[in-house]
Amino acid sequence: MFPAINYVKLIAGFFDWSEKMIDGGVLISQDLSCMGQVSLSVVLPILGACGLKPTVLPTAILSTHTGSFGNNTYLDLSHEMAQITKHWQELDIDFEALYLGYLGKNALDFWLQNKELVNQKIVLIDPAMADHGKMYRGLDQQYVEEMRQLIKKATILTPNMTEAAFLLEKKPEENSMQTATSLAQELMVKFNIPNVIITGIDLTDDQIGEVGVTEEKEWSLTQGRLPGSFFGTGDIFASVFLAAFMHHYSLKESCSIAADFVERAILNTPKQDPRLGPNYAAGLSWLLKKMGDRK
């Protein structure tokens, strides 16, 4: 005979499970490139592996990322973003953190028009729009002006040197720790952002660095530059940084872990087309141990 079923306990357990599902973890809003390890293709597995329950609000679907693959397709999803978030509001989903990466014009407009949705405890904004003194393809000065409005909602801002300069209406200057620290201080004060981290500072032919400025202190890190150039390292860095920070590492410790992870990924990447990105999976066991050490 089959054992008797306690339906009261079963139903209570179902509602307990449903209530847990309402905790949305980390909301990520950026594009999905179908080929090339960038954006959501790396953010989702990294944050998921670290146990942060990622939820996605995709901004667009691309056949490939925009780095040297030619004329990629681009399906804008900004019209769906309002419908998706409306459904989430009906479900009363709560997100502990929000991570905004590369958005594009229409998705940036969405977030500016719905700034009330940016109310999480942790709001990481990576204003991915420029590098090496130039704007990314398809973005213009109006995009910079609109990004200046959005970053006021950030609790952590992670621009590179070019983005930091553009946000402050300056021309990119020489890459030095002193210049980066000055830019970070100006961003923090002008836009009232508690934590500003400038990443990927080209210091010498064999050295790169990061600087951080918070309301309490300043700090800096340096790493050796590895040969080669891979797409997606910025997305990997930001994802690991956020995972470490949400596991209660400090901002500086989180940056150090992210930099070490990117280095491990590159060192374990076989000879392949650099447009495909580094082998981030090679460092996941090391990263999970780091996360486990903080439990």
Domain ranges (residues) in the chain: 26-293
- Reported as a pLDDT band with limits 50, 70 and 90, residue 22 is low
pLDDT digits (tens, 9 = 90+) for 91-136: 989 899 999 999 999 999 999 999 999 999 999 999 999 998 999 8
What's residue 230's pLDDT? 75
- Of the listed ranges 37-41, 70-74, 179-183, the least confidently predicted one is 70-74
How high is the pLDDT of residue 227?
Answer: 72
| pLDDT confidence tier of residue 19, bands split at 50, 70 and 90 | very low
Q: pLDDT category, 31, cuts 50, 70, 90?
A: very high
Is the separation of the CB atoms in 175 and 146 below 8 Å?
A: no
- CA-CA distances (angstroms) from residue 252 to 46, 52, 131, 164, 257? 19, 20, 23, 19, 9
Q: Superfamily for 26-293?
A: Ribokinase (3.40.1190.20)
Per-residue pLDDT of 205-229, as tens digits, reads 889 999 999 987 999 999 988 776 7
User: In the prediction, which pLDDT does 6 show?
Assistant: 52
Summarised one tens digit per residue, pLDDT across range 230-281 is 778 889 999 999 999 999 999 999 999 999 999 998 888 877 777 777 888 8
Give tens-digit pLDDT for 103-114.
Answer: 999 999 999 999
Is the per-residue pLDDT at 55 higher than 60? yes
As a whole number of angstroms, the distance between CA 158 and CA 72 comes to: 27
Q: Look at residue 160 and tell me whether its pLDDT is greater than 90.
A: yes
The pairing of strands 134-135 and 156-157 is unpaired
Is the pLDDT at 78 greater than 60? The verdict is yes
Average pLDDT, the chain: 88
